[in-house]
Amino acid sequence: MVEDDEDIGRLLKFILEREGYRVTLYPDGRAATTRLETAEIPALVVLDVMLPYVNGHQLLGMIRASDAWKPVPVLMLTAKSGESDVVRALDGGASDYLTKPFQPAELKARVRRLVPRP
């Protein structure tokens, strides 16, 4: 998961861990790019659009350009007013999107669509 806002990141992590998922949180796009090269492939990426250093669209492009990461589903977090971000994310290969402010139940439902509960 890549989310720069401390409160949103903590809440997302809490909700998903409560559902039984193992979550690693990265606070910015640059930190997340190191994961692309070194770490195990996750079952799902949750990606904010507005991130410091490397934004969500750029990260999505890197994921879809990587042979190893290409099949990983990506759920994008977009602003409610960001229709252009939604279009760009879906055109860029995002699997789904969630607009902020989000309701925890909607987050869980969208994640379940992409990754069954463990």
Residues near another protein, by CB under 8 A? 5-8, 10-12, 14, 18, 50, 79-81, 100-104, 107
Q: Which two tokens stand for residue 11?
A: 């809440």
Helix or strand run (H / E) with residue 29: helix 29-38
In the complex, the smallest distance separating the C-beta of residue 47 from another protein, rounded to whole angstroms, is 14
Nearer to another protein, 48 or 60 (CB): 48
In the complex, the smallest distance separating the C-beta of residue 67 from another protein, rounded to whole angstroms, is 33
Nearer to another protein, 62 or 86 (CB): 86
